[in-house]
Chain A
Amino acid sequence: MTTRAHAPTDALDEAADRAFRLSVPALLGCTALLLLAILASATQGAAGLPVEGVVRALVGALPGVDLTQTLTPAQEAVLWQIRLPRTVLAALVGASLAMAGAGYQGVFRNPLADPYLLGVSAGAGLGAVLALGFGLDLAWGPIAALPMAAFVGAVLAVTGSVLVARGSFRDPATLLLAGVAMAALFSATQTYALTRLDETRAREVLSWLFGRLATHGWGPVTLLLPYVLLAGAVLWLHARHLDVLRLGDDEARSLGLSPARSRLVVVAAATLITAAAVSVSGLIAFVGLVTPHLVRLLVGHSYRLIVPLSAILGGAFLATVDIGARTLVAPAELPVGVITAFVGAPFFCVVLWRRKADS
């Protein structure tokens, strides 16, 4: 053969070693960003907390570490009861949405897919309106009515989309269109219901729709955490399936993968995690769409890197943005979804612009 070049053996083995694997610097860098974001979010706010004291408190809380604490009891209370629950919640919601976004983008082989694609947002919105506005009481044990109703609404809307598409996970285009139709239907119902509400209740619903992170205690965190862990693990284990799906359904099948089954699992996990996040935080825009793109710029296109790094960076992003939500118009609060869109949309435009320029 004419053109048989031989690279040094170790370079090839190194390439084989690196393929589909997270590089240590990327992982460490992103984790450091997340920790920084959490620290910043924990110290900034109506009552500023000293950074050193917060670090001492956080590190001291690790098992087996004994540090002199410098925070006053009042500051301790602010940190553990107000600031940290909210920060951790922001990080979890950001991680959920970003992972779900990566999952949906893989399933639909479309970089414009976001976690709300199949009607999650509209379904959750309708559920919230019904619960808040009409006193529909879906409360279940310790779980309040609104998150429960939003969760149920979101899952129902996606299930509706899947049923309308006759469960055709072989044909994602049909599923996508079904999602559009279902979202339109639920949104219309939700808008109609909103017009029937009195002003106070309507305002409360709207503020939820724009995305707001709950501020009372650790409840929402414990609600969301199991979903993040479970669905996150499922998504991560199916990231390779998403890589194979990038070859198209035919080739994926001839390689021994069942595209329909992989899609079903990923859509189910991404939907659950999104519904859970939305139920505690409302509709937060752009995190799920932008984060996977940012990760692609950093580490390339393999979903085995995109899924875990999206989780970390999505968490860091939302925790950071939430600082703005709490402080920009203090003592009032901006809906965090407004800021994510304000930051996310221009960023996304720049990414698109540069990508166009590259190709």
Chain B
Amino acid sequence: MTTHRLHPAHALRTRDVRVSFAGTEVVAGIDLDLRAGEWLGLIGPNGSGKSTFLRSLVRLVPRTGSVERGDGTPPGPTDLSLMPQSPELPPGMPVMEYVLLGRTAHLGWLSMESRADRRIATDVLRRLGLASFAGRPVRSLSGGEAQRVVIARALVQQSPVLLLDEPTSALDVGHQVEVLELVDELRREDSLTVVAAMHDLGMAARYADRLLLLERGAPVALGTPDEVLDDTLLSRVYHHPVRVHRLDGHLVVLPQARALHTPASAPIPLPDRSTPASPRSGQRDLGDGSQKPRSRKLGSAGPHEEVS
């Protein structure tokens, strides 16, 4: 079964993509050339512009610069599908209806789903092992199930590029792997291009072909996980000493000695910082005098995501 149009031209190219909020630049010139079937991981601390960059690609925030499909034309709503960080799950909406809403951009002016649209939805649900969930309200699903349903909705959009905004941030480690494996499987089968903002650097290294490291909206490094996950570079960008280890063939990024539960009041000497740790100890806070833009959604990250 193919749910996606296979077309070599359907990769993505961005040139000098910039986003500003109230005079502060939060995405500062991103150039990318993505192959069909490639997985790019966006990494960087909170507020580094990962989410905003993804949202700017589908014009949810105004941007400058160019975004093109491989053939040079601008992408439409059927070319990019965004899986939001915290998707809205409307009360009383069954899974089947939720997934069918993904067909919006494909419908004619009468806004009616055709037999083909319904067929695509059942195919995707079956493929994702969600067949028995079709009648359940989306609100009644567990985190992992809901995330699969959201992926199903993104898949019925049948766009060749899948944008994932921290797809696993609400999941335990088992479900994280399950969701990421699923995305990986789908992109291999359908040559989907995946751009995923990811907090967990180890997971990012494991699934992405290339990583783009952002700092205050600007690209700092772009390359394979081996190239980008560098002790010195990460320690500088994340304002915390980290070590990159190789374990069973996987890259693992470990934060150094500073315990996660250090009392907030204790001043901790850090390479780049002159101020004490924030009250949410163990996590980088944005308002630390380093003048990082605060304009993106705050509170989007759980307390232990950043340094995992």
Contacts and interface: CB of A to CB of B under 8 A. Distances in A.
Interface in B52-90: 55, 58-60, 76-78, 80-82, 84, 87-88, 90
A5 to B, nearest CB: 4
B287 to A, nearest CB: 25
A247 B88 contact: yes
Given A19-B96, A19-B100, A243-B97, A253 B132 contact: no
A110 to B, nearest CB: 13
Interface string B42-57: 0000000000000100
A12 B122 contact: yes
B91 A256 contact: no
Contacts of A253: 58-60
Contacts of B135: 15
A13 B119 CA distance: 8
Nearest to B136: A15
A195 B139 CA distance: 52
| Chain A CB within 10 A, most for which of B88, B157, B182 | B88
A2 interface: yes
Contacts of B257: none
Contact of B97 (A5, A13, A296, A302): A302
Contacts of A56: none
Contacts of A2: 178
Give the contact-size bracket for chain A.
35 or more
A86 interface: no
B126 interface: yes
A4 interface: yes
Interface string A218-257: 0000000000000000000110110110111011111111
A246 B105 contact: no
Contacts of B84: 250-251, 254
B234 to A, nearest CB: 31
A1 interface: yes
Nearest to A255: B104
Interface string B102-129: 1011010011110000110110011001
Contact of A16 (B118, B129, B157): B118
Contacts of A19: 94, 96-97, 100, 113, 118, 121
Contacts of B121: 16, 19
A237 B109 CA distance: 9
| Chain B CB within 10 A, most for which of A18, A244, A254 | A254
A247 B101 contact: yes
Given A2-B178, A254-B84, A12 B104 contact: no
A302 B110 CA distance: 16
Nearest to A16: B118
B146 interface: no
Contact of B101 (A4, A17, A255): A255
A12 B110 contact: no
Contacts of B131: 5-7, 9, 11-12
| Chain B CB within 10 A, most for which of A3, A5, A13, A238 | A3
A235 to B, nearest CB: 12
B195 to A, nearest CB: 14
Interface residues of B, number: 45
A80 interface: no
A134 B187 CA distance: 72
| Chain B CB within 10 A, most for which of A5, A241, A252, A256 | A256
A244 B103 CA distance: 10
A352 to B, nearest CB: 15
B134 interface: yes
A1 B151 CA distance: 15
Given A3-B129, A255-B104, A255-B157, A17 B91 contact: no
A2 B113 CA distance: 32
A241 B132 CA distance: 27
B92 interface: yes
Contacts of A250: 55, 60, 84
A96 B104 CA distance: 27
Nearest to A13: B122
Nearest to B100: A19
B111 A240 contact: yes
Interface string B138-182: 000000000000000000010000000000000000000010011
B133 to A, nearest CB: 8
B102 A255 contact: yes
A131 to B, nearest CB: 39
Contacts of A15: 94, 96, 122, 134-135
Contacts of B60: 250, 253-254
B93 interface: yes
A5 B90 CA distance: 24
A251 B88 contact: yes
B125 A12 contact: yes
30 contacts: A1-B129, A4-B129, A5-B131, A6-B131, A7-B132, A9-B126, A11-B132, A12-B134, A15-B94, A16-B100, A16-B121, A16-B134, A18-B96, A240-B104, A240-B107, A240-B111, A243-B97, A243-B101, A244-B101, A251-B88, A253-B59, A253-B60, A254-B60, A254-B77, A254-B84, A255-B105, A256-B78, A300-B92, A301-B92, A302-B93
- Closest 5 CB pairs between A and B? A4-B129, A256-B105, A256-B77, A301-B92, A15-B134
Interface of B: 55, 58-60, 76-78, 80-82, 84, 87-88, 90-94, 96-97, 100-102, 104-105, 107, 110-113, 118-119, 121-122, 125-126, 129, 131-132, 134-135, 157, 178, 181-182
Given A5-B131, A256-B104, 19 more contacts: A4-B129, A6-B129, A6-B132, A19-B96, A19-B97, A19-B100, A240-B107, A244-B104, A247-B88, A247-B90, A250-B55, A250-B84, A251-B87, A254-B80, A254-B84, A255-B101, A255-B102, A256-B76, A300-B92
